Amino acid sequence: MRRLSRAEFESSSSDYDRAVAADPEIDAFCSRSAWILSFYDAFRPDAALHVAREGDAFVALAAQNEPQIGVVLQPLETMWGFASPLVGAGSCDLLRELLDDSATRVGRVPLLLSGIPLTRTRLEPLLRMLAERFALRPLAETVRFQASLDAGFDAWLARRKPGFRRNLRAARRRTREAGVRFESARPADAAATAAAYERVLAIERDTWKTRSGNGVDRGPMRDFYARMLPRLALRGELRVLFATRDSSDLGYLYGGVAGPLFRGLQFSFREAARELGLGNVLQAEMLERLCAEGIAVYDLGSQSEYKRRWAEPGLVTAGLLARPRS
């Protein structure tokens, strides 16, 4: 087992991402370095990293002091529970080594795991290993809603309910008649990414989310995306879509590509565009562009009611809380 510092993990991020891509049972986008390191740096930069590597297997955890609980060993991203901190077929054995390391004593604190594959070959060995020293409590499963695009846009649309198709056609017609146009962007360097993100933030400040105090234009959430987007852009994986009218930006949608999968990250629109149904039109416009690019899956993220209309339940992973036996 080789322990990695923050700098060493950063320098090994390409190897780590290749290991994520080679592990078909975990979240292909949110387990990657762009997601977990951006979250770590934005939300918990003072947490002690515990990253280990053995060949193509990785364990990426952080020891965070939680109020009223104490130190908890947990994934680098814990807000949504998408990322798996265990990457590769040998990651269970690697976790055992990490927990046995007497120099860190991390095996003596509560352990939180998320993004765990539900396949028998991955889950059962992990549970057996942890049960030797921890009392285990399962957490709620996390479901991603994913739209299959491998048969093209028309096939995706044909699977939607008639009312959905009718409303979407009407919204697209309204936007055309209102003079709205759509602009795709693939920033490929830091300067272009910063410029695109500034356009996004300018729109975000005039959205219902920001007006209700839930915007992503401030605090750690702003920092999270400000760190992630350049990482994606430098690898040619960032996709941005703007809705414009008369040279003014009305809405945006952006996300990242991981192989044949596109992960939607954020989208919104100015309040002045609400009557147009611009949010739905942005999604449809992005879907068409992804189909033309050959993307097979649009991952919309975790469960919410509107996502049921756009996609089907996809990858499901588990969470687990392990408390040391006294």
pLDDT at position 214 is 74
pLDDT above 90 (res 269): yes
Q: Is the pLDDT of residue 86 over 90?
A: yes
Per cent of the chain over pLDDT 90 is 89
- The yes-or-no verdict on residue 260 having pLDDT over 90 is yes
C-alpha distance across the termini of the chain, in Å: 27
pLDDT value, residue 107: 87
Parallel, antiparallel or unpaired: strands 248-258 and 238-245: antiparallel
Q: What is the pTM of this model?
A: 0.95
Q: In this predicted structure, what is the pLDDT of residue 219?
A: 93
Average pLDDT of the chain?
Answer: 95
Taking 90 as the threshold, does the pLDDT of residue 112 lie above it? yes
Q: Model confidence over 187-245: pLDDT tens digits?
A: 999 999 999 999 999 999 998 778 777 778 889 999 999 999 999 999 999 999 999 99
What is the DSSP annotation of 58-117?
EEEEEEEEETTTEEEEEES--SS----SEESTTHHHHHHHHHH-TTT-GGGS-EEEEEEE
Position 303 confidence tier, pLDDT thresholds 50, 70, 90: confident
What secondary structure letter does DSSP report for 233? H
Q: Where are the beta strands (DSSP E) in the chain?
A: 2-4, 48-54, 57-66, 70-75, 86-87, 111-117, 134-148, 181-185, 238-245, 248-258, 261-269, 297-302, 312-324
- In which residue are the tokens 């100015």 written? 270
**Strands (E) located in 120-191:** 134-148, 181-185
CB atoms within 10 A of CB 7: 8
- Of 315 and 304, which is predicted with more confidence? 315
Q: Give the pLDDT mean for 54-68.
A: 94
pLDDT over 80 at 71, yes or no: yes
Question: Which tokens hold the place of 15?
Answer: 């190897």
| Residue % of the chain over a pLDDT of 70 | 100
Taking alpha carbons only, the member of 89, 82, 92 closest to residue 29 is 82
The pLDDT value given to residue 213: 73
> Contact, 168 vs 303, CB < 8 A?
no
